[in-house]
Structure 1
Amino acid sequence: MGTQVERLESGIAVLTVDHPPVNALPANGWQELATAVGDAGADPTTRAVVLRAEGRGFNAGVDIKELAADPGHTKLVEVNHGCYAAFRAVYECPVPVITAVQGFCLGGGIGLAGNSDVLIASEDAEFGLPEVDRGALGAATHLARLVPQHLMRTLFFTGRTVSAHQLEHFGSVWRVVPADQLRATAVELAGEIAAKDPVVIRRAKEALNGIDPVDVHRSYRFEQGFTFELNLSGVADRARAEFVDGSGRA
């Protein structure tokens, strides 16, 4: 369990998240992922990073049960910092991050996907933010990097998902492939990037981040403030309790 790191001879670092049963990460899981991405990018021999996951889905967001079990706000603060750190690590990784998504990519998974440089998805992949139904807000910043503005708002308000093929149509997903080809396809593309001059690629990543029209870190922190406000009001506690006991929406 956790985040495993595999280093290939080509200079590709393959990071695999494995938190059964659905890859809903606890607070320390987000921090562990942030550290793994940061360490991979800091290694001068790394030329590209592949971010993937084991199991039937890429990421189901935060561990709601961990938050529901905390009578205060300690875990909420920890998971907020953890998500922020993980999303930031992906965005600021000095080399391109190619993320391979299978099954569901929800909540915090959107933060990881939206801040990645390239997305490859399996045919069954779906992307969405169920935050409103969980009494939380956040990652609209990153969903807006995947879909057009008005669709982002529709998905955010309703909690609906969008398919990998739809994202491929928008150009957000580079390729949609059968699930059994997902890892190989991601590694193949990473290899193409890794074969180029590493100094040029690192400067290219820095340059692209520098011309980004949205400050993703500031924007996401703004969203997190509303999540904390909903927790202080008690709305989030009720939504999490409904989710844990099964009476809330799926």
Structure 2
Amino acid sequence: MPVTTKYPEPGVAVITVDEPPVNALPVRGWFDIAHEVTAAGQDTACHVVVLRAEGRGFNAGVDIKEIQRDSGYDKLVGANRGCAAAFSAVYDCPVPVIAAVRGFCLGGGIGLVGNADVVVAADDATFGLPEVDRGALGAATHLARLVPQHLMRALYYTASTIDAHQLHHHGSVYQVVPPDRLDEAALALAHRIAAKDTRVIRAAKHAINGIDPQQVHRSYRYEQGFTFELNLTGASDEARRRFVDEGKGA
């Protein structure tokens, strides 16, 4: 399975994504993340979740080639719904979710990280939304939770990336460590949280979400509406076709 859950120590659920070669997830993968995160949060023995990935990077977004192979729009709709489900599962998880990020974190990866409670990153981690180059919109909602408003806009319009040290400067990455220490650092933080009274921590998560100034569910679905408009105009098809053709030549 591309998404699995293990309990390396009491109270700590580690959810691992492994979808070679770059963790660009098909529709099924997004719903798998939603299922595993939701199941962990509903388990009273779970006090904290660590979301991590194997392979070359944390997440490369949706599997655009899967969408292009579909003669209709089922995979596009599925990817949009799957991303919304996965992002919501992280945000709504009754216990804190720690994102452990290494390598690239792109597109849908920003949605996962932006909705996480704490981000620990390897010093090789980079974050960005290439959506405008793919003829889509989305996850500005989540990028805006990582960087200030005007920087978010610049990164979004240019499809540029920002590194872990820069995000640490802005306060959205809690800790930056060498890649070979990432899992250790994420588990150490998880251990500290898991040692607290889970009744209090669960209440704290609920309370913090309740005072969040950004309504992440509604704003993300609002963004997705423009993706569907771009598909109707043909702009998205052209952008995805260029992306797939460039990949074939690589």
TM-score by length of 2: 0.98
C-alpha separation between the residues in 2 aligned to 1:148 and 1:214? 14
Shift of 1:9: 3.0
In structure 2, the partner of 1:212 is: 212
Q: Give the corresponding residue for 1:196.
A: 196
In 1, distance between residues paired with 2:159 and 2:185? 29
- Counting matched residue pairs gives 249
Corresponding residue for 1:16?
A: 16
The corresponding residue for 1:54 is 54
Q: Which amino acid aligns with 1:153?
A: R
1:151 aligns with 2:157: no
Segments of 5+ residues of structure 1 without an aligned counterpart are none
Q: Give 3-state SS (helix, strand or coil) of 2:136's partner.
A: coil
Aligned pairs (5 A) from 1:63-212: 63-212=63-212
Matched residue SS, 1:8: strand
SS in 2 for 1:60: coil
Q: How does 1:32-43 map to 2 (within 5 A)?
A: 32-43=32-43
How far apart, in 2, do the equivalents of 1:12 and 1:231 lie? 41
The match for 2:6 is 6
Farther off after superposition, 2-11 or 97-106 = 2-11
- 1:2-49: CA deviations, max 9, x gaps? 101101332100000000000000001100110000000000000000
Q: CA deviation at 1:247?
A: 7.6
Where 2:10 maps in the other structure, the secondary structure is coil
Q: Quick one: distance in 2 between partners of 1:196 and 1:123? A: 29
Q: In 2, Cα distance between the equivalents of 1:62 and 1:164?
A: 22
Aligned-pair identity (%): 66
Q: Distance in 1 between matches of 2:221 and 2:56?
A: 30
What does 1:214-233 align with in structure 2 at a 5 Å threshold? 214-233=214-233
Distance 2:145 2:137 in 1: 16
Aligned-residue offset at 1:140: 0.0
SS in 2 for 1:246: helix
* CA contact 2:41–2:93 (8 Å) conserved in 1: yes
What SS class does the counterpart of residue 21 from structure 1 fall into?
coil
Partner SS for 2:111? helix
Distance 1:247 1:98, change over 3 A: closer
Amino acid at match of 2:203: R
Deviation for aligned residue 1:123: 0.6
The SS at the match of 2:33 is: helix
State the distance in 1 between where 2:172 and 2:10 align: 26
Amino acid at match of 1:95: V
Distance of 1:183 and 1:17 partners within structure 2: 14
